[in-house]
Amino acid sequence: MQFMKTPAGMTRRHFVSHLAGSTAAASAAWQLGGTIQANAEEMRKKRKSAILLWMGGGPATIDIWDLKPGAPTGGPFRPISTTGNMQITEHMPMVAQQMHHLSVVRSMSTREADHQRGRYYMHTGFVPNPNIEHPSYGSVVAHELFDQRPELEIPPFVTVGGAGAGPGFLGMAWSPFAVTSNGRVRNLQMKLDDQRLMQRMAALNLIEEGFSSRTRDLPASEHAKVLDKTFDLMTSDQMEAFRVEKEPEEVKERYGTSNFGQGCLLARRLVEAGVPFVEVDLGGWDNHQGIHTILRDQKLPELDRAMSALVEDLAVRELIDDTVVIWMGEFGRTPRINQNAGRDHFARAWSCVVGGGNLNGGLAVGETSRDGTSVETEPFSSEDLMTTVCKGLGISTEKTFTSKNGRPMKIAGGGKLIRELIA
Amino acid sequence: MPDAEQSNMTILRMNRTGLRLLLVWLFAAGVSFTEASSAATGADTLPPQVADINQAVEQVWRDYEIQPAPEADDAVWCRRVYLDIIGRIPTYDELTEFTGDRSAEKRAELVETLLYDDRYTEEYAQHWSNVWTNLLIGRSGGNDDDDMTSREGMQKYLRDSFARNKTYDQIVYELVTAVGSTTPGTPNFNGAVNFLVNKVNEEDATLATSSTSRIFLGQQVQCTQCHNHPFNQWKQQKFWEFNAFFRQTRALRRFVPGTDDVAYMELINEDFAGEINDPEDALIFYELRNGLQKVAYPVFTDGTEIGRSGFLEDVNRRDELGRLMLQSEYLDKMLVNRMWSMFLGHGFTRPIDDLGPHNPPSHPVLMDSLAAEFRENSYDLKKLITWITLSRPYQLAAILGPNNEIDDPAIGETPKFSRFYLRQMSAEQLYASLVTAADAKTGGTYEEQEEQRRRWLQQFVVAFGTDEGDEATTFNGSIPQALMLFNGDLIKNAIRTTPGSFLDRLSQTGRSPQERVTRLFQAGLARRPTKKEVQVAGQLLYARKNDEKEMLQDLWWAILNSNEFIMQH
C-alpha cells in the first residue's frame, strides 16, 4: 500500500500514531523500533547546535571586550583578568571565569552603521540588496543541520524575545519560530480528536494544492511546509523543552530572572532537546547618552549573570564542544564619547565573541589601535565570522544553492576563515 | 461494501501526503476553475488617467515581449477590491450581488460604491486609519507603558480624516504642524499630534527628522545623522538642517490633578533659543565624525532657507516645514509609489520609501505622470484609488504563466505588473476578514472591540528597541500565525455551530448539501468548489455520520486556514 510509507515531512511517530488511531499504541510501537532508536542515538552524538546572543542596538564593545584604559576614549571602566588569554571589563566578573571557553575577535571591521542594515548584514553575511533576501544564521544552520536529527519535531530555529532574521531564499519553512522568554507558545491546543484533525488537514491540503497549482507562485507552495511543521508541533512531546518554568529555582536564579536570563536558560533546554539554532535577544544597547551608567548598573550585570551561567552549564553538561556560542550586535560604538556622555554607531573597529563547537576558546584575536578607532591587524567581516562559525559547526560554506531564477547562491557571502579560531 | 463507500474510507484513513499524491494524479486530468468573464470596467467611461496607466504598463510588456496573465474573474476581483479598499473580504451577499450584476460597468460601479457609499464610509476610514497608524507610529506605537503616544488618538484623527475624505496634502500638513493634546476627551485634543509626540523630546528630535522625511518625502536620512550617506546625495549637513525645523517643538506631560500620574501629553511650540542662547539667531550644532562641531539652521531639502529666528512670533518652523513639503514633488511621488505598491503588491522602487537618482524607478514616466495627476486633482486619495483599481494591471489574475515567467519580483526581477502578485493580507485585514467570515460582530462596545482587536494584533509584533523604533512582525505565514489560525479564538468563533451562528444559518439555506458547500466556498474564497473538493465534502459528511453542520465546520476550518484565504490574490 503506497500510503503506508512514511511520508516526507512527517515523523514516524505521528504517522504510526495516526494509523493506529491511538497515541498509547503508537508510542509502544515506537519503543519497539530498536534500530531506528539506535540510529537516533548515533546521530545524537554527532549533532551540533549554535546559540546566538543578539545584542540589539549595537553594544559598546570598547567598554566590554576591548578596553582602552588611559586613552581619552577609554571611559571609566577598568579591565580585569580572565581564565582566557585576555582582559575584559570589570563589570563582567562571572563571564571572566568562563573566558577559557570563548574567544574575542577584536578586529571586526564592517561598514554598516545603520540599525536595520547592520542587523541584516551581521545576521546574513551579506549587505542588504533590494532584489534578494539572504538567509540568516539561524535559517542556514537549521537548514544544514536538520538532517542530523530525524527525531526533531519542534522548529529547528527558535528565537527568544526577538524577531530573529528571515530565511531568505531558503523559504518560509526555515523562518524563525519566535517565543517569549517564558517559553509560552500560544494557541497550541486544539481539543479535537486526532482522527478528525487529520481529516480536516486532508481537506485543507486539497485546497492548498489547487491554489498553488493554479497560481504557480512560490509563496503558495511554501505554505504547505509551514502547515506540516505546525501540525508536528501541536502533537509533539518535545514541546516540553519550552517549559522553562520546570527548572529548579536555584538554576533560574543563577541565570537571572530577567527576560534575557530566562531566555538563555530556555536556549540551553532547547539545545538539549536537539534544536540546532537558538537566538536570544537582549536589546537596549543603543546608548547615545549616559552610556556608562546604563552599562554599569543595568546591561552588564544582566549579561554577566546570564551569559556566564549559560556557558558554564553547557560545559558542565558536556555540550560546549558541540554548541557554538556567538555574542554580537549590529555594530560597535564610537570610541569618542559624545556631548551627551553617550557613544554613537561605529562599525569600523569593534568586537564579537565566539566559542564552543570546534572553535578555540580563551583567545583574543586581532587588535585595535590605542584609542580604539581603527583595526591594526587583519580586519574581519561578518562574512568571515559566519564562515568560521559554520566551520565550527561542520557546515560547508562552499555549497551552492540555486535560487528560483537559476542564480547560484552561497551562504556567508564568500568569507574567509578566522584561522586562529580553528582548532 | 459499495465502491463509493470504500473509496471514502480509503481517503479518510489516508495521511496528508498520501492524499496530496492522489491529488497530483487527479489534477493531471486537468480541471479548469476560472469562468470566463468579460472586461467589466466599462472602458468607454473610464477616467483618462486609467488609459495613461495602461499605456505605460503595456509598453513595458511589449519591451520585454511578455504576455500578461488573463483577467481575474469577477468574484476573485470583487474579493480583491474589497480587501484593498475597505480592508476585508466581501460577505456572501455582497459577492453574489456583484457577480449577478449584468452591468457592463460593474467594476467601476463597485469601486465607486466602496469609496463613496455611506454604507462603507466607516469601514473605509477604519482600514486606511489602520494602514496609516502603522506607518506613522508603528505597530507597537502607544502600546508600551513609557511610550507617550495615544494610539487611540492617532486612530481617531485618521478615521475622521479618511471618513471626510480630507485631501492628502491637508493630512500631511496637519500631521507635521499639529499642536494639542494626544488623548481623546482631554483639553485641546488634536489626534494628529500623535505622529510626532514620541519623536521630538529625545536625542534632539532625530526620530521626527528621519520619520517625516522618509514617510512623506521618500528621503532616507537616518544614516546621515552621523555621517554622509554612502549612496545618495544626502549629506550630514542636510540632515541637521531638516532637523532644525523641529527644534521649537516639545512634548509636555500633563498630570492627573493632585498626582504624579501622567494623564496625557501635549505637543507645543515654544521659542527656541538655539544652542548658544541667542533666539534671534537660533542655531544648532552637530558633530562630525572627527569631533568637529558644525552649525545648522532650518533649510528645506531643496535648499530653501527660512528665517533663523527661534521666536515663534517671527517664524513658526513646523508651519514653514509643512508649507515647503507641500511644494515638494517628492510628496506626490512618495504617495503615488506607496499607494501603487499597496494595490499592486510592489512599488516602482524598492524599498518604496527611498526615492532619488540613486534608486531609479521601474516605470519612471508612469510614476511622474501619476504624481502630477494626483497633484492636479487636489490630492484626492479616492480618485487615485479609482484610477489604480480600474487600471488593467489591477484586473489581471494572480497567475505566473509561461508567457510572463520573467515577471517575478520575488526573485529580484523588476516588477512588470503583468500579473497580480500574491501577497499576505495584513494582520488587520485578516482580523477583519475573519470577523466577516464568522458573520458576527465580536460583541461589546466599540471600545471593547477595539481592545480585543488590539490585543490580537499585538501578539505578532516584536520591537527591536533601537532609537529608530524599528520593529518586525512575525505575522508572515509563519508557524505562530498557522497556530493562531488552527486553534485561536477567532477561528473557534468563526466555526461555531451554535444556534444563530454563521454555520447554523448557512445550514438552513439552499436546497442540498452541495449547494451549501458551494456557498461556503464562495463566502471564503470567492469561487465555487472543484469537483474534488465536493467529493471531499461528501467524504467528510460520511465521516461525520451525516451530521452536515459538523461537515460544514470541518470544511470551513480548512477554508479559513488555506493560503487562498489568507492571501490577497
The CATH number that applies at residue A359 is 3.40.720
| Nearest chain B residue to A216, by CA | B400
- Number of domains observed in the structure of chain A: 1
Contacts A162 to B, Cβ<8 Å: 462, 464
Examine residue A198 and state whether it is found in any structural domain, yes or no.
Answer: no
**Average pLDDT of span B376-399:** 97
pTM for the whole structure:
0.79
The amino acid present at A44, given as its one-letter code, is: R
Contacts A8 to B, Cβ<8 Å: 17
Element (H, E) at B537: helix B531-543
Element (H, E) at B286: strand B284-287
Between A351 and B24, where is the model more confident? A351
Contact between A116 and A102 (Cβ < 8 Å) = no
Contact between B435 and B488 (Cβ < 8 Å) = no
**Cell, residue B551:** 461537515
CA B327 from chain centre, in angstroms, equals 26
Between A350 and A182, where is the model more confident? A350
User: Closest partner residue to B543 among A7, A187, A199, by Cβ?
Assistant: A199
DSSP states along B341-357: HHHHSS-SSSSTT--ST
Taking alpha carbons only, the member of B195, B190, B284 closest to residue B237 is B284
Taking alpha carbons only, the member of B227, B222, B212 closest to residue B172 is B212
Examine residue A66 and state whether it is found in any structural domain, yes or no.
Answer: yes
**Average pLDDT of span A238-267:** 93
Using the beta-carbon criterion (under 8 Å), do B462 and A178 form an inter-chain contact? yes
Unique residue bearing C-alpha cell 496634502: B169
- Residue B194 pLDDT more than 80? yes
- Residue B431 pLDDT more than 70? yes
Contact map slice: A 263-302 vs B, CB within 8 A: 283-284, 286, 288-289
User: Closest partner residue to A186 among B33, B459, B464, by Cβ?
Assistant: B459
A35 part of contact set with chain B, CB < 8 Å = no
- Residue A6 pLDDT more than 60? no
Alpha-carbon torsion, ordered B494, B496, B500, B502, to 10 deg: 40
| Best mean pLDDT range from A19-33, A216-230, B259-273 | B259-273
A229 part of contact set with chain B, CB < 8 Å = yes
Using the beta-carbon criterion (under 8 Å), do B226 and A113 form an inter-chain contact? yes
Q: How close, in Å, is residue A83 to chain B by CA atoms?
A: 33
Return the number of other C-beta atoms located less than 10 Å from residue A368's C-beta. Answer: 26
Contact between A118 and A347 (Cβ < 8 Å) = yes
Q: How close, in Å, is residue A346 to chain B by CA atoms?
A: 10
CA distances, A356 to each of A85, A86, A99 (Å): 16, 17, 11
Examine residue A9 and state whether it is found in any structural domain, yes or no.
Answer: no
Grade residue B442 by pLDDT with cuts at 50, 70 and 90. Answer: low
Q: How close, in Å, is residue A407 to chain B by CA atoms?
A: 9
- Residue B17 pLDDT more than 60? no
Contact between B480 and A186 (Cβ < 8 Å) = yes
Unique residue bearing C-alpha cell 522548529: A155
Least confident of A36-45, A137-146, A275-284, B34-43: B34-43
Contact between A242 and A289 (Cβ < 8 Å) = no
Grade residue A12 by pLDDT with cuts at 50, 70 and 90. Answer: very low
The reported pLDDT for the residue numbered B467 is 54
- Report how many Cβ contacts below 8 Å link chain A to chain B: 232
The reported pLDDT for the residue numbered A13 is 39
Q: How close, in Å, is residue B470 to chain A by CA atoms?
A: 8
Element (H, E) at B59: helix B48-64
The reported pLDDT for the residue numbered B456 is 80
Contact map slice: A 314-343 vs B, CB within 8 A: 334, 336, 338-339
**Average pLDDT of span B295-312:** 93
Among A3, A236, A282, most B C-beta atoms within 10 A, so best to mutate, is A3
B458 part of contact set with chain A, CB < 8 Å = no
Task: Work out the percent of chain A whose per-residue pLDDT is above 70.
Answer: 86
Half-sphere exposure of A323 (CA within 13 A, CB side): 30
- The whole-angstrom separation of Cα B201 and Cα B249 is 8
Give Cβ neighbours of residue B547 (< 8 Å, ≥ 6 apart): B541
Q: How close, in Å, is residue A23 to chain B by CA atoms?
A: 16
Examine residue A177 and state whether it is found in any structural domain, yes or no.
Answer: yes
Residue A366 φ/ψ region, left for φ over 0, alpha for ψ in the -120 to 50 degree band, beta for the rest = left
- Residue B462 pLDDT more than 70? no
- The whole-angstrom separation of Cα B75 and Cα B498 is 29
| Nearest chain B residue to A155, by CA | B479
- The whole-angstrom separation of Cα A414 and Cα A394 is 16
Examine residue A211 and state whether it is found in any structural domain, yes or no.
Answer: no
Examine residue A153 and state whether it is found in any structural domain, yes or no.
Answer: yes
User: Closest partner residue to B23 among A119, A206, A338, by Cβ?
Assistant: A206
Task: Work out the percent of chain B whose per-residue pLDDT is above 90.
Answer: 63
Strands (E), A7-164: 49-55, 79-81, 87-89, 102-108, 157-160
CA A103 from chain centre, in angstroms, equals 18
- The whole-angstrom separation of Cα A245 and Cα A252 is 8
Sheet holding A364-365, edge to edge: A177-179, A157-160, A277-282, A49-55, A323-329, A350-356, A102-108, A364-365
The reported pLDDT for the residue numbered B454 is 83
CA B244 from chain centre, in angstroms, equals 31
CA distances, B26 to each of A209, A221, B401 (Å): 11, 18, 21
Contact map slice: B 267-326 vs A, CB within 8 A: 287, 289, 291
**Average pLDDT of span B514-519:** 95
Give Cβ neighbours of residue B230 (< 8 Å, ≥ 6 apart): A111, B223
- The whole-angstrom separation of Cα A108 and Cα A105 is 6
| Nearest chain B residue to A188, by CA | B483
Grade residue A307 by pLDDT with cuts at 50, 70 and 90. Answer: very high
Q: Is B209 helix (H, G, I), strand (E, B) or coil?
A: helix
The reported pLDDT for the residue numbered A406 is 60
The pLDDT tens digits of the residues spanning A293-306 come to 999 999 999 999 99
Contacts A407 to B, Cβ<8 Å: 411-412
Mean pLDDT of the residues in chain B: 86
The reported pLDDT for the residue numbered A410 is 79
- Residue A35 pLDDT more than 70? no
Among B483, B489, B534, B536, most A C-beta atoms within 10 A, so best to mutate, is B483
| Nearest chain B residue to A348, by CA | B289
B490 part of contact set with chain A, CB < 8 Å = no
The amino acid present at A369, given as its one-letter code, is: S
Burial class (CB in 10 A: 0-12, 13-18, 19+), B4: exposed
Taking alpha carbons only, the member of A366, A364, A351, A421 closest to residue A391 is A421
Least confident of A32-41, B416-425, B543-552: A32-41
**Average pLDDT of span B135-156:** 85
Grade residue A178 by pLDDT with cuts at 50, 70 and 90. Answer: confident
**Average pLDDT of span A389-418:** 80
Taking alpha carbons only, the member of B379, B344, B381 closest to residue B362 is B344
The reported pLDDT for the residue numbered B6 is 44
The reported pLDDT for the residue numbered A149 is 85
Using the beta-carbon criterion (under 8 Å), do A405 and B411 form an inter-chain contact? yes
Contact between A346 and A333 (Cβ < 8 Å) = yes
Q: Is B533 helix (H, G, I), strand (E, B) or coil?
A: helix
Q: How close, in Å, is residue A420 to chain B by CA atoms?
A: 32
User: Closest partner residue to B554 among A2, A203, A228, by Cβ?
Assistant: A203
**Average pLDDT of span A394-421:** 80
Residues linked to residue B287 through DSSP beta bridges, in sequence order: B293
Least confident of A10-24, A116-130, A172-186, B336-350: A10-24
Using the beta-carbon criterion (under 8 Å), do B15 and A3 form an inter-chain contact? yes
The reported pLDDT for the residue numbered A20 is 33
Burial class (CB in 10 A: 0-12, 13-18, 19+), A71: middle
The reported pLDDT for the residue numbered A91 is 97
Grade residue B222 by pLDDT with cuts at 50, 70 and 90. Answer: low
- DSSP label at residue B185: T
B360 part of contact set with chain A, CB < 8 Å = no
Contacts B411 to A, Cβ<8 Å: 132, 403-405, 407
CA distances, A198 to each of B30, B543, B549 (Å): 26, 12, 18
Using the beta-carbon criterion (under 8 Å), do A200 and B227 form an inter-chain contact? no
A115 part of contact set with chain B, CB < 8 Å = yes
Among B292, B489, B562, most A C-beta atoms within 10 A, so best to mutate, is B562
- State which residues form the domain around A284: 33-183+243-421
Grade residue B140 by pLDDT with cuts at 50, 70 and 90. Answer: confident
Between B143 and B493, where is the model more confident? B493
Q: How close, in Å, is residue B6 to chain A by CA atoms?
A: 15
Cα angle value A216/A222/A225 (rounded, 5°): 135
The reported pLDDT for the residue numbered B81 is 98
Examine residue A20 and state whether it is found in any structural domain, yes or no.
Answer: no
Half-sphere exposure of A404 (CA within 13 A, CB side): 22
- Residue A275 pLDDT more than 80? yes
Grade residue A220 by pLDDT with cuts at 50, 70 and 90. Answer: low
Task: Work out the percent of chain A whose per-residue pLDDT is above 90.
Answer: 57
- The whole-angstrom separation of Cα B306 and Cα A66 is 46
User: Closest partner residue to A187 among B289, B486, B564, by Cβ?
Assistant: B486
Grade residue B424 by pLDDT with cuts at 50, 70 and 90. Answer: confident
Mean pLDDT of the residues in chain A: 85
Contact map slice: B 413-432 vs A, CB within 8 A: 413, 421-424
Using the beta-carbon criterion (under 8 Å), do B398 and A215 form an inter-chain contact? yes
- Residue A8 pLDDT more than 50? no
Unique residue bearing C-alpha cell 536558560: A265
Residues linked to residue A327 through DSSP beta bridges, in sequence order: A53, A353
Using the beta-carbon criterion (under 8 Å), do A214 and B476 form an inter-chain contact? no
